[in-house]
């Protein structure tokens, strides 16, 4: 009966939802008709009934949106109802914005009694912008809304200018509305006593201020800080005591107003100027303590209520606190950097300890985090994790870069960090001073992070964090807490301290904190005896869960401390772990599986956990974990088992074991179901959100990244191994699933991105290539290393070693072709946005390796690899890993364009490739192969059209190519010479060759045909084309070595060189006496006469030349005849 009632309720609710959506759709269509009717009217003045219709439709849309908010989603089909509601809401907001904007724009074309005041039409404009910004908050790709928002802003600026109201911007009007309604000339005297009459105006004003701050933070904060920060004080006062300013009857409205005001203050604090003002204002008015108490009161009071508005208020409050912490960290870092410390370390340490132990800030931060961790709302709890991350991060710029808050190019630090190039140019004294200041600042940051972590752990924060994780039913939340525990322990480690007998830093504080967690020992009951399992439920089981969860975090964060803890502190670890793993409590089993996965990571703890692994025991603990219905428990146990198998060399080379591990990995990919609720929570708490984590997916991809290093597994993946679980096999292959994950529109964590990129990079390379890459730059070659290793092996062992994991270049090529067919290059391009340096390095390696296969280069360009590599190699100062990423991207461009016809590329691709290629040639760290292939691509592009020649020359190409002509590697010299030759007939190359000293180089290269024929051919071809210029021809004639070059090449018998020389001589005959004198004195005419007489009348046919040489012979004879004729003229 209860089920029937529930079903009937859902049916009734579904009908109600459909009615509301139908009415909203009709209102939306009516609004569209009115807008079209308004656009089509031809009257000079707008009629009164039209104006009234527009005003009326605004009210109708307001009511429709309110009804949609009240009805919620249809429980029968939540996903489809949410989609339809989003579409209708988007149309309603867009059309209401358009109506409001039309009323403001055509304010003068209405009857006199309907004309609006300045404040009225400014309010319409403000609300129009607010509607569009609200629309874009949930539909950011709506192109119509984006275009219309730009139009509204532009037109608003024009209207304000026309009305001489530049000081009366919409945001200032919104602030004036607040002050008028709230009353009081000072912010502290304001009250919301009349809010029941004007609550909509207050809410709309605050919504517009918030939307403006999100859209244009610089102008928004500037408005709040005008006139002695009057606007900032108003919004701050409402944010701190919004509920206290109303009566009990208006409490809901007061909370909503307070939430909006808090969101405004939090958003404004993104800008350093507002944060600095707020801190200074609180200090000057001595309200800092009151402000901190207000924040704590808001969080602690609102935290107990399960309501959307209270959740939003808590999130906004925590966001404000985080941004103030970031501001303080930046200011402290700048002060530390600019402080003139003496060389006395004691003075530095004293300053570090004084500044980093900021008890008031530490106390407030710990109180806020502890209060929020007790919340029942996942969104609120995530803000505690985010706040803790901000508090512990050593460099506040890392937090800024991990969010979208620096899109406006805001400068947070007053210290201008020099680029790598500027550092290299520093004089020794300045460089030493700079390094000293950076070292002191880094020490300060580490000490600050350490002290913050210690304060949090010793004042109840660690206990709250562990308790929150243990009592949560959400696996993603337990994982978040484990990560934070690891971060806390890592922050508390002081690497500067001396080591004890266990090889750990002598740190009594950290050891005391660790031992505190294990002070209370639970009562362990042997479950195999006659005791019921319920006897160990309750406090003892919870205590075991706490200890195991803490140990997991320590192992992930600081493995050395984790190993010491397992050996010295956690005495009954095996009993407690077995208790958790054998329980029927999913949370306990999940924590046990997570610990097993963490322990399997470390060499020292693998024997500990491997003692439990016995899959053959049907009733065993490990089998229970693997057969658990919970995906997180399964994935943790499977991950541990796989890591243990891979760590054993005998097992990791056994094909049967590899198949089993591959089955485990594909099972995790097939069986995982993304926790959409967890992802929704994270997406809505985007202030400083931690990474998205899905245990089955992440562990499955991680395991595949390990297995993909084995040739057998590579071939299995490429040959179409399907996803499988214990009961089913999917039609989709593993490779297809990996590509789908990489191209997924939903957010994937950085670790999944890295694992995917690593898998793709492994699939397109052989073990032998990896070995050669590892030996690059070493004093020993792979062959020499193999010979040394072979000295200690028998003949049979050597044969087995050769047969093991053999991977031919043909096999790699076949895999690459399949990868291109399944759009792996496109998937790699999808991994680039927001990727870490490690992921980008693997992506760049994949591009470079795939591009080695000539047949897939066209497909790579079509799938976006060329454009992606151009973007990766944008010019600038690079350092560390990113420099190698850029070099790999540039090398990929070189490989792609060696064999690609430039006419098949877009203009932006042709032009955009030139600078990366030149930079690769110029890079002194690039290999000769990379330079050679880059030069071939430049040659290819230079031959395309005049535009590419212009860009090569414009990017200082002549200078770079000229330098490359002096390379020690003859192939690089030849390619550089060919690239220079293809720049003719650009005026700048002629200008370059008119310099006699530079021309001598080309003569020398052309004369060196016996040692480097290809280079001589390219140099002589360039001279043959360049001598069309009279100045170049005369400069060439004046060089002493030219005469010997002429006769040596004519007599060399190599038709390609003779052809070019004869063209050169023919050109010289057209330029002045010095050129003709060169021809006469060199004996070139006599040679031509003898040459013609010896081989004319097709006498050369008897020489047995190839078809090409025969044709070339005929051409050279005809050229010789022309030279003879010209000399007699």
What per-residue confidence (pLDDT) applies to 961? 92
Whether the predicted pLDDT of 250 surpasses 60: no
What per-residue confidence (pLDDT) applies to 646? 62
Query: Which single residue is written with the structure tokens 């407690």?
Result: 576
What per-residue confidence (pLDDT) applies to 552? 92
Span 973-1018, pLDDT tens digits: 999 999 999 998 888 998 998 888 889 999 899 888 888 888 999 9
- Which stretch of 42-51, 273-282, 1111-1120 has the lowest confidence by average pLDDT? 42-51
Average pLDDT over residues 598-627: 78
Whether the predicted pLDDT of 1075 surpasses 50: yes
What per-residue confidence (pLDDT) applies to 960? 92
**Tokens of residue 816, six digits:** 């690459």
In three-state secondary structure terms, 969 is coil
Whether the predicted pLDDT of 406 surpasses 80: no
Q: Is the bond into 96 cis (omega within 30 degrees of 0)?
A: no
Q: Are 598 and 644 in contact (CB under 8 A)?
A: no
Beta-ladder partners of 729: 724
Best CA proximity match to 761, nearest among 769, 884, 657: 769
66-75, 210-219, 242-251, 545-554, range with greatest mean pLDDT: 545-554
159-168, 341-350, 860-869, range with greatest mean pLDDT: 860-869
Average pLDDT over residues 549-558: 91
Q: Are 742 and 828 in contact (CB under 8 A)?
A: yes
Whether the predicted pLDDT of 894 surpasses 90: yes
With both helix axes pointing from N to C terminus, report the angle between 428-458 and 345-356 in degrees, rounded to the nearest 10.
40
In three-state secondary structure terms, 513 is helix
Sequence length of the chain is 1129
Whether the predicted pLDDT of 775 surpasses 70: no
Whether the predicted pLDDT of 876 surpasses 60: no
pLDDT tier at 883 (50, 70, 90 boundaries)?
confident
Distances, alpha carbon 1040 to alpha carbons 313, 350, 1075, 1080, 1088, in Å: 87, 75, 12, 14, 21
The overall average pLDDT reported for the chain is 79
What per-residue confidence (pLDDT) applies to 793? 57
pLDDT tier at 194 (50, 70, 90 boundaries)?
very low
Q: Is the dihedral of CA 1114, 1117, 1123, 1124 positive or negative?
A: negative
Residues 6+ apart with CB under 8 A from 222: none
Q: Are 879 and 925 in contact (CB under 8 A)?
A: no
Q: Are 688 and 783 in contact (CB under 8 A)?
A: no
Best CA proximity match to 385, nearest among 400, 394, 375: 375
Query: Which single residue is written with the structure tokens 């219309």?
Result: 148
pLDDT tier at 1117 (50, 70, 90 boundaries)?
confident
Span 504-519, pLDDT tens digits: 665 678 888 888 888 8
Whether the predicted pLDDT of 689 surpasses 50: no
CA distance 96 to 118: 20
Whether the predicted pLDDT of 677 surpasses 70: no
**Cα maximum dimension of the chain:** 122
Q: Are 711 and 809 in contact (CB under 8 A)?
A: no
CA dihedral 909, 915, 921, 923 (to 10 degrees): -130
Query: Which single residue is written with the structure tokens 């508090």?
Result: 391
Best CA proximity match to 986, nearest among 951, 1015, 1019, 962: 951
CA dihedral 953, 958, 961, 965 (to 10 degrees): 160
Helices and strands in the chain, H and E counts: 59, 2
Span 458-469, pLDDT tens digits: 988 999 999 999
Average pLDDT over residues 1008-1036: 89
According to DSSP, residue 192 is labeled -
170-174, 521-525, 691-695, range with greatest mean pLDDT: 170-174
Phi, psi of 878 (to 5 degrees): -115, 155
Q: Are 179 and 97 in contact (CB under 8 A)?
A: no
What per-residue confidence (pLDDT) applies to 78? 44
Percentage helix, strand, coil for the chain under 3-state DSSP, each rounded to 5: 75, 0, 25
pLDDT tier at 959 (50, 70, 90 boundaries)?
very high
Q: Are 630 and 636 in contact (CB under 8 A)?
A: no
Best CA proximity match to 129, nearest among 68, 170, 159, 87: 170
Whether the predicted pLDDT of 1 surpasses 70: no
What per-residue confidence (pLDDT) applies to 684? 42
CA distance 942 to 945: 7
Residues 6+ apart with CB under 8 A from 144: 94
How many other β-carbons are positioned within 10 Å of the β-carbon of residue 555? 28
Whether the predicted pLDDT of 685 surpasses 70: no
- pLDDT over 70 for what percent of the chain? 76
What per-residue confidence (pLDDT) applies to 1089? 85
Q: What is the 3-state secondary structure (H, E, C) of 984-1039?
A: CCCHHHHHHHCCHHHHHHHHHHHHCCCCCHHHHHHHHHHHHHHCCCHHHHHHHHCC
What per-residue confidence (pLDDT) applies to 533? 40
Q: What single string gives the DSSP state of each residue in 414-463?
A: SS-PPPHHHHHTS-HHHHHHHHHHHHHHHHHHHHHHHHHHHHHHHTTHHH
Average pLDDT over residues 23-30: 90
What per-residue confidence (pLDDT) applies to 196? 47
Whether the predicted pLDDT of 847 surpasses 90: yes
What per-residue confidence (pLDDT) applies to 917? 93
Q: Are 1085 and 1079 in contact (CB under 8 A)?
A: yes
CA angle 1030, 1032, 1034 (to 5 degrees): 65
Whether the predicted pLDDT of 190 surpasses 80: no
CA distance 753 to 1122: 67
308-317, 646-655, 1031-1040, range with greatest mean pLDDT: 1031-1040
CA distance 747 to 693: 10
Q: Are 916 and 870 in contact (CB under 8 A)?
A: yes
CA distance 750 to 66: 39
Q: Is the dihedral of CA 203, 208, 210, 211 positive or negative?
A: positive
Whether the predicted pLDDT of 783 surpasses 60: no
- Which stretch of 290-294, 550-554, 836-840, 970-974 has the lowest confidence by average pLDDT? 290-294
What per-residue confidence (pLDDT) applies to 675? 45
Best CA proximity match to 858, nearest among 903, 814, 827: 903
What per-residue confidence (pLDDT) applies to 765? 86
Span 316-336, pLDDT tens digits: 889 998 999 999 999 888 888
What per-residue confidence (pLDDT) applies to 686? 43
pLDDT tier at 740 (50, 70, 90 boundaries)?
confident
Phi, psi of 806 (to 5 degrees): -75, 135
What per-residue confidence (pLDDT) applies to 2? 43
What per-residue confidence (pLDDT) applies to 867? 92
Whether the predicted pLDDT of 355 surpasses 60: no
What per-residue confidence (pLDDT) applies to 636? 84
According to DSSP, residue 566 is labeled I
pLDDT tier at 792 (50, 70, 90 boundaries)?
low
């Amino acid at each position: 009966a209860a089920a029937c009632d529930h079903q009937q309720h859902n049916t009734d609710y579904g009908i109600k939802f459909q009615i509301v959506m139908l009415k909203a759709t009709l209102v939306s269509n009516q609004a569209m008709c009115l807008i079209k009717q308004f656009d089509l009217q031809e009257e000079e003045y707008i009629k009164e009934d039209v104006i009234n219709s527009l005003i009326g439709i605004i009210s109708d849309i307001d009511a429709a949106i309110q009804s949609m908010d009240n009805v919620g989603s249809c429980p029968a089909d939540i996903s489809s109802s949410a989609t339809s509601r989003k579409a209708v809401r988007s149309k309603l907001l867009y059309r209401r914005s358009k109506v409001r904007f039309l009323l403001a724009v055509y304010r003068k074309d209405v009857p006199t009694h309907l004309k609006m005041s300045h404040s009225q039409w400014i309010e319409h404009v403000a609300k129009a912008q607010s509607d569009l910004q609200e629309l874009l908050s949930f539909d950011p790709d709506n192109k119509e809304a984006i275009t219309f928002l730009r139009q509204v802003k532009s037109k608003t600026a024009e209207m304000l200018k026309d009305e001489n109201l530049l000081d009366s911007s919409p945001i200032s009007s919104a602030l004036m509305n607040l002050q008028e309604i709230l009353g009081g000339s000072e912010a502290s005297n304001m009250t919301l006593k009349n809010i029941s009459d004007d609550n909509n105006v207050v809410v709309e004003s605050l919504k517009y201020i918030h939307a403006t701050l999100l859209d244009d933070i610089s102008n928004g904060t500037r408005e709040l800080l005008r006139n002695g920060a009057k606007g900032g004080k108003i919004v701050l006062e409402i944010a701190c005591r919004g509920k206290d300013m109303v009566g009990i009857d208006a409490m809901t409205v007061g909370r909503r107003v307070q939430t909006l005001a808090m969101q405004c203050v939090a958003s404004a604090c993104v800008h350093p100027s507002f944060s600095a003002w707020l801190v200074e204002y609180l200090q000057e008015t001595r309200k800092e303590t009151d402000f901190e108490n207000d924040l704590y009161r808001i969080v602690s009071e609102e935290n107990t209520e399960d309501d959307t508005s209270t959740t939003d208020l808590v999130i906004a409050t925590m966001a404000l606190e985080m941004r103030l912490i970031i501001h303080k960290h930046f200011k402290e870092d700048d002060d530390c950097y600019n402080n003139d410390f003496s060389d006395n370390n004691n003075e530095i340490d004293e300053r570090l300890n004084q500044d980093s132990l900021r008890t008031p800030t530490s106390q407030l931060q710990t109180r806020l985090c502890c209060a929020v961790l007790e919340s029942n709302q996942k969104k609120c709890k995530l803000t505690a994790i985010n706040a803790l991350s901000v508090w512990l991060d050593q460099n506040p710029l890392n937090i800024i870069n991990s969010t979208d808050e620096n899109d406006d190019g805001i400068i947070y630090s007053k210290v201008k960090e020099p680029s790598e190039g500027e550092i290299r140019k520093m004089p020794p004294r300045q460089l030493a001073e700079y390094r000293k200041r950076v070292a002191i600042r880094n020490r300060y940051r580490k000490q600050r992070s350490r002290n913050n972590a210690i304060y949090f752990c010793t004042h109840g924060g660690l206990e709250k964090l562990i308790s929150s994780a243990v009592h949560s039913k959400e696996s993603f939340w337990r994982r978040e807490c484990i990560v934070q525990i690891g971060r806390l322990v890592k922050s508390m480690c002081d690497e500067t301290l001396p080591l004890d007998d266990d090889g750990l830093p002598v740190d009594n504080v950290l050891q005391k904190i660790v031992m505190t967690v294990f002070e209370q020992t639970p009562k362990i009951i042997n479950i195999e005896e006659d005791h019921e399992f319920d006897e160990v439920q309750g406090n003892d089981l919870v205590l075991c869960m706490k200890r195991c969860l803490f140990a997991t975090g320590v192992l992930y964060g600081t493995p050395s401390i984790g190993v010491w803890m397992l050996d010295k502190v956690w005495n009954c670890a095996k009993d407690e772990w077995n208790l958790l793993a054998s329980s029927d409590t999913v949370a306990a089993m999940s924590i046990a599986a997570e610990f097993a996965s963490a322990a399997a990571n470390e060499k020292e703890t693998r024997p500990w956990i491997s003692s439990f692994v016995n899959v053959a025991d049907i009733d065993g603990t490990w089998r229970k974990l693997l057969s658990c219905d919970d995906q997180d428990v399964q994935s943790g146990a499977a991950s541990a088992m796989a890591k243990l198998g891979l760590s054993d060399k005998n097992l990791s080379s056994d094909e049967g074991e590899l198949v089993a591990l591959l089955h485990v990995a594909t099972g995790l990919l097939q069986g995982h179901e993304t926790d959409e609720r967890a992802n929704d929570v994270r997406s809505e708490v985007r202030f400083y959100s931690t990474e998205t984590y899905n245990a089955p997916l992440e562990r499955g991809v991680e395991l595949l990244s390990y297995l993909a290093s084995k040739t057998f597994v590579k071939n299995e993946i490429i040959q179409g191994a399907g996803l499988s679980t214990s009961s089913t096999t999917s039609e989709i292959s593993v490779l297809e699933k990996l590509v789908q994950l990489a191209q997924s529109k939903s957010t994937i964590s950085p670790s999944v991105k890295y694992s995917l990129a690593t898998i793709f990079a492994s699939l397109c390379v052989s073990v032998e290539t990896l070995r050669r890459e590892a030996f690059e730059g070493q004093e020993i070659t792979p062959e020499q290393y193999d010979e040394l290793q072979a000295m200690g092996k028998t003949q049979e062992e050597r044969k087995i070693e050769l047969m093991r994991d053999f991977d031919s270049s043909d096999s790699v090529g076949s895999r690459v072709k399949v990868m291109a067919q399944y759009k792996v290059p496109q998937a790699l391009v999808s991994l680039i946005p927001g990727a870490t340096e490690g992921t980008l390095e693997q992506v760049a390696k994949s591009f470079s390796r795939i591009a080695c296969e000539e047949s897939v280069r066209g497909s790579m360009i079509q799938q976006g690899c060329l454009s992606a590599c151009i973007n990766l190699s944008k010019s600038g100062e690079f350092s560390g890993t990113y420099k190698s990423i850029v070099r790999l991207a540039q090398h990929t461009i070189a490989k792609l364009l060696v064999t690609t016809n430039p006419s098949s590329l877009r203009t932006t691709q042709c032009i955009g490739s030139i600078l990366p290629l030149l930079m690769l040639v110029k890079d002194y760290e690039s290999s000769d192969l990379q330079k050679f292939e880059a030069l071939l691509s430049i040659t290819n592009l230079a031959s395309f059209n005049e535009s590419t020649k212009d860009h090569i020359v414009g990017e200082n190409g002549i200078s770079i190519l000229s330098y490359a002509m002096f390379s020690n590697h003859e192939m690089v010299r030849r390619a550089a010479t060919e690239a220079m030759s293809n720049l003719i007939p650009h005026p700048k190359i002629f200008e370059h060759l008119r310099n006699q000293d530079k021309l001598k180089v080309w003569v020398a290269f052309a004369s060196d045909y016996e040692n480097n024929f290809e280079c001589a051919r390219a140099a002589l071809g360039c001279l043959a084309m360049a001598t069309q210029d009279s100045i170049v021809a005369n400069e060439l004639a004046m060089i002493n070595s030219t005469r010997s070059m002429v006769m040596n090449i004519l007599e060399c018998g190599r038709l390609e060189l003779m052809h070019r020389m004869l063209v050169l001589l023919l050109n010289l005959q057209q330029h002045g006496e010095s050129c003709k004198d060169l021809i006469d004195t060199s004996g070139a005419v006599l040679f031509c006469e003898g040459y013609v007489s010896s081989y004319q009348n097709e006498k050369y046919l008897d020489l047995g030349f190839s078809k090409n040489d025969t044709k070339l012979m005929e051409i050279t004879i005809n050229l010789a005849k022309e030279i003879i004729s010209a000399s007699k003229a």
